[in-house]
Every structure is written in C-alpha cells, then in structure tokens.
Chains A and B, each alone.
Chain A
C-alpha cells in the first residue's frame, strides 16, 4: 500500500497512523524480520526499517546500541533490502530510514531502483536536507519512491515551505530539539510545529517522532498529528527482554497499546 493511501484510510477512520521503527538486522536478520512482522500484526500501520549506520548522530543511546549490535552481527545494505522485501510481502507498508552515506556508497539511482523493487514506499533521510538532495530527488522521481525530509522546531517558515515542497508521502516533524529516545513527557514544541506545517501545506500528512513511548503519549500526539512515530520504546522491548519469545510478546503488547492510543485522539 502507498503511504498516501495508508494516511487516507486512517483519516477516514478518524485516527492517526502508527509508524513503528526497528533497525534492520537487529539482533539478526531473521529476528528483525520476525519482530517487524509481529509489530505489523499487532497494529503498526507502517514499519519504518532503519538501516544500521556506524555514526548515527540523530539517534540516542537505544537506537545506537541496536544499530551497533546489528552491525557487529554483520548486517549489510543488501540484507536490509531483503528484510524490506520480506516485511512488505507480509502486507506491511514499509518505509526506510537511513543516513545518507550508505546510499551514496550503494549508488543513488541503483538504490532507489532496488528499494522500489523490494517494496518500500519511501525513504526518510535524517541527515540529507533538500538543499543537498538533487541527485536523490531525481532518482526517487525516476523510480517512484516517496521522499520524507525532516523539519524541526528551529526551522524557519521558509525552510519548512521549501522542505514540504520537496517531500512526497509525508513529512517527518521532529517534536523536540534533540536525539531519538523515549521521554517522560511529549514535547510542547510539537503541536506548534505541526500547526506551522499545516498553515503552509494543509494536505501533506505530518508524522511526529522523537520521544513517544506509551499509549497515552501516542494518543496525545495523535490529537494533533497524522502519524505517530515510535522507535526507541519498541527497540527497548527487544533489548531488555530475557529471551526471544519474551521480546516478541513485549513488542506485540506495546504495539497494540500504541495502536489503541492512536485511535483515542
């Protein structure tokens, strides 16, 4: 399913889309597939696969740790594409989040082609701003892959407008000035940022991420955003679990709690 359709369906049901993140290959290729499918079955509308990277400057300790484990276990870019294929064919809408260097190394056009072939609908680029993205914009147009750039509370209205113009599918609003990781309270900057985005483009769906960790926070964000993005809290289910089965159980439980949250707006 395309991202646009996923957002449209949720809108028709008067709820927000739940986007759950998981690093590819964490802790192994097979187990990451199993975890993503469990998240999908328990209510994550979109699976945001994260390509593990050695220097993830936007990420807090939880995602860093999971990425390090995946890399230490030898995950490759081509494994990430296989994982996307497996999760997409299980029926999930899949987007990929990646730092830019692995894509540049793979070859920008080849990556857009292979990403589309694997069944991902789009790419989220945390360290690629539209100003530097001409090659990616051309390649993603050629291979019909959606583009999600980030906006932040510090972005000027001009930059927000320019970024929205270059997004397709949805825009990622970073709820606070900081790195990924669950927080005790949802940022007060987030509703204001979403309002600024809507004023410039009322139609492009807005996903809000950074800090959401439970159903109540998901409901709080769902009240003003089109999509709720959850990463570290889901990953912690696996990191903290004593064994594989317990990790999957806790992933399912949190996913359904979050799914219930995005319906309680």
Chain B
C-alpha cells in the first residue's frame, strides 16, 4: 500500500477513477496556475518556514494528543483524542486556510472567496484573510445565514463580506456553486479558498497536504507516548478534510485501521442523511468524480444532518478511493447517536465537542466491541476531535431541551 498510496493523485488529479477536473474550461488556467504555485511552494524552504511558523505561533499546533481516561473507561477502549478543538478558531480548518491564504499571497491575488455551511470555514477564511491582509468574500446559503447568525457576525467583525445565497436549496452546495460562479468571473485577482478536500484537482491534494500535519503529529505522539502505533484512527467525514488530515500519515501503516464516520441524519434507510459513501453512488459533483447523493437522473439530492459541517451531498475523491480499495472503512452515524456521544464527552471529560466531531466519537463507540473481539484485547484508538462545540451550544441546548424559555431566543436565530 505504501507505494501507490503515497504518490496519489496522479498528474491529472485522479485517485483511481475518482477526482479529476469537471469544471468549465474558463477555470482550467487558474487551476493550472494554482497547481504550479503549489508545486513550487512545496519545495520552497521559505514558504514552508512561514507556514510552519504560523501553525506553531499563531494557530497553536501541534495540537495535544490527550489520553481520555474516563471516556476510555466508558467505551471499553484506550481512547486518545487529537485535540484540534484547541487550535485557534476552534477547529482543524485553520491549517488549511493558513496554507491557502499564503498561496494566494504567493500568486499575487489580493482577494479570496470561500463557501461555508455552518460558517466555520467562513470564519477561518476571514481570520486568515485578516491576518494576511486579503479581501475576503464568503458565500453562505441563506438558510444557513439565518441558522448561524453568530458566525455571520464573526465573519463581519473580521472584515469579511458575507453574501447570502438564495439559489436552489440555499445551503452549502448552493454556496459552493455561487463561489464557483464568482471565481469564473474574477479568477485573475481571486483565489478560491476551498474549505474541504474535494473539488477539482489540485484542491483535494492541496487541502490534504495542508491538513496532513494532524496525522503526522498524531503518529509521532503515539510513538512518543505509547511506544507504538494505535490499532485504529477515526474521524468524521463531511467533505473529508479532517479525516484525510489524520489518515494520510497512517495510510502506509497497514496494521492501523482507518475509520471514517459519515452523517447518517435520521438513518440512511430514511433517505434523510448526508452519508455520500455509505448511502450514495458514484457520479460527478463540484468538479470531481466521487460518491454523492443523487437521484436516478443524476440530479443532486439535498443532504440532511444535525451537523451543519457534515451537511453536504458529496465527499472528497481520496475517500472514495480509500473506500473502494478497502484501506479505510466508512460507516454512518445517526443524529441521535452523535448527540449521545456529544453528551458523553461533555460529562466524562469536560470537553464540549463540535457536533461534527461527535460523529467520530459515536462511531468509535460502535466499533469498539468489534475491535475487542478481533484483537482479543483492549483496542487503542486515536479519534480526531476536529473542533470545539461552542458554535453548537444553541443546537445542542435545543436538542437536549436544556435551554430556559428566555434563553431559547438567541438574537437573530430561530429555533
């Protein structure tokens, strides 16, 4: 596995039959330029040093690998949490936006645009843009701007322009469409700061590489703390960036099982979910061939998840490939399972996780019995705690019915 896996994608951006470039010709030059800029940045010691410095001194990485003893006892496994929730802006996403904003600078592009669902990638993009003095425009579905009013305010405080998108389903996929439309018209001056490891080549590769420090750090931390590698690594999968970020360094380690947990919404069998790999089929969406939610005619089906960050009908192409090759396993986790895990982590460890990350915790709870049986001992599992739950307090509070009446009315938000 170490051979081909380490060198993917191929020169045209394919992971097996997945990935590639399914975009208007007008964007090809920009994608070629981005790829060239990235290749030269990758081997430029100065760029790498700047990126490393920002990660270390601004974003607060390497993030801790924390042995969660009370959670371990509750789940019957040795659980190590990769604390990406402690990063600046509260999620793994800061790694990607810092890398791409530096690339935008390097290409001489003064403007960045981004799509966002819950607003996490939008806030991260606005943060990097403020730090590096770039103009920032964030496209966000109108439904989401209403659901996530606090993040809209955050982006505006940071100096970004937030554009509510009123097309189609008015959610993340439509925000992505609108960002692509903006980019076709402004590509000379604008970098599209894509928020996950999906989209046309070279985005899946670039985003993966910028976030892959998660896995490199975790792998070394395991060796330092345990003297060995874990039995399994687990993450939630929306577009797939935090998952590929923690998987990548472990892909050549055949003894380490890789688990991706998708948003199962009300349950995959109900049709109301966001599980592209386990509940979708192969097609083309947003510039790449991958698994997606689509009807018999290839029209995209709207996704559903309690987690806005996982509420997307596609998935990055490298995950499609890791699924087909069997190197990683993907399973759905329902809203209810994720929320139970959310509560469990709050109560056992005093950590409020993002609802996205709670999907990874819930998935781990499900696989522990299987792993115990397979291994004949207590398994050691690294879980990517991709983000903190501050942004989700309102959703979770409403879900658990623990908000007083007066508190249920958050300014600008509807319950």
Across-interface contacts of A101 in B (CB, < 8 A): 283-285, 294, 298, 300
Check B299 against A71 for contact (C-beta < 8 Å).
yes
Interface residues of A in 115-168 (CB under 8 A from B): 126-129, 131-132, 149-156, 159, 163
Give the interface segment out of B26-34, B121-129, B370-378.
B26-34
B297 touches A127 (CB 8 A): no
Query: Which B144-203 residues sit within 8 Å CB-CB of chain A?
Result: 167-168, 173-174, 177, 180-181, 184-185, 187-188
Which of B21, B181, B299 contacts A57, CB < 8 Å? B181
Could you tell me if A177 and B25 are in contact, using CB atoms closer than 8 angstroms? no
Quick check: B21 and A131 within 8 Å, CB to CB? Answer: yes
Q: Which of A86-94, A102-110, A201-209, A231-239 contacts B (4 or more CB under 8 A)?
A: A102-110
- What are the residues of chain A within 8 A of B188 when measuring CB–CB? 177
Q: A154 to B168: give the CA distance in the assembly, Å.
A: 29
Complex: A76 Cα to B25 Cα, angstroms: 27
> Is B25 a contact of A155 with CB atoms below 8 Å?
yes
Q: Which residues of A contact B21 (CB under 8 A)?
A: 129, 131-132
Q: Establish whether residues B285 and A163, one from each chain, have CB atoms under 8 Å apart when the complex forms.
A: no
B284 and A154 form a contact (CB under 8 A): no
Cα–Cα, bound, A77→B21 (Å): 24
Minimum CB–CB distance from B313 to chain A (whole Å) comes to 9
| B-side contacts of A163, CB under 8 Å | 25
> Closest approach, in angstroms, between the C-beta of A86 and any C-beta of chain B?
19
* Interface status of A224 (Cβ within 8 A of chain B): no
- B187 and A154 contact, CB distance less than 8 A: yes
Residue contact A55 to B168, C-beta cutoff 8 Å: yes
**B24 adjacent to chain A (CB < 8 Å):** yes
**Is A55's CB under 8 angstroms from B173's CB?**
yes
Within 8 A of A (CB), among B272-306: 283-287, 294, 296-300
A-chain residues with CB within 8 Å of residue B25 when the two chains form the complex: 129, 149-152, 155, 159, 163, 174
Residue of B nearest to A126 (CB): B24
B20 within 8 A of A: yes
Assess whether B299 is in contact with A102, with CB atoms less than 8 Å apart: yes
- Give the A interface residue count (CB, 8 A): 40
Report whether B28 and A105 are in contact in the complex, using a CB–CB cutoff of 8 Å: no
Complex Cα–Cα for A76 and B283 (A)? 17
Closest residue of chain A to B282 (Cβ to Cβ) is A104
Q: When the two chains form their complex, are residues A102 and B26 in contact, meaning their CB atoms are under 8 A apart?
A: no
Inter-chain contacts of B296 with A (CB < 8 A): 105
Q: How far is the CB of A36 from chain B (nearest CB, A)?
A: 20
Q: Quick check: is B23 within 8 A (CB to CB) of the other chain?
A: yes
A132 touching B20 by the CB < 8 A rule?
Answer: yes
A54, A102, A126, A153 interface centre (most CB from chain B within 10 Å): A54
- Judged by a CB distance under 8 angstroms, whether A42 is at the interface is no
A150 to B30, CA, bound (A): 16
Q: Does A179 contact B (CB under 8 A)?
A: yes
Q: Is the CB of A102 within 8 A of B298?
A: yes
Q: Which of B29, B174, B287, B297 contacts A102 (CB 8 A)?
A: B297
Q: Which residues of A contact B284 (CB under 8 A)?
A: 100-101, 104, 127
CB nearest to B301 among chain A residues: A54
B22 at the interface (CB under 8 A from A): yes
Q: Is A64 an interface residue (CB 8 A)?
A: yes
Q: Are A57 and B297 in contact (CB under 8 A)?
A: no
Contact across chains for A177 and B26 when beta carbons are under 8 A apart: yes
Instruction: Tell me which of B26, B283, B287 contacts A152 (CB under 8 A).
Output: B26
Shortest distance in angstroms between B283's beta carbon and chain A's nearest beta carbon?
5
Taking the closest CB of chain B, its distance from the CB of A80, in whole angstroms, is 9
Seen from chain A, the residues whose Cβ lies within 8 Å of a Cβ on chain B are 53-58, 60-61, 64, 68, 71, 76-77, 100-106, 126-129, 131-132, 149-156, 159, 163, 174, 177-179
- Not counting A55-B173, A55-B285, A57-B180, a sample of 4 additional A-B residue pairs whose C-beta atoms are within 8 angstroms of each other reads A101-B283, A104-B284, A150-B26, A154-B187
What 9 pairs across the A-B complex have the smallest Cβ distances?
Answer: A105-B298, A152-B26, A102-B298, A154-B29, A178-B185, A101-B298, A54-B300, A54-B299, A101-B284
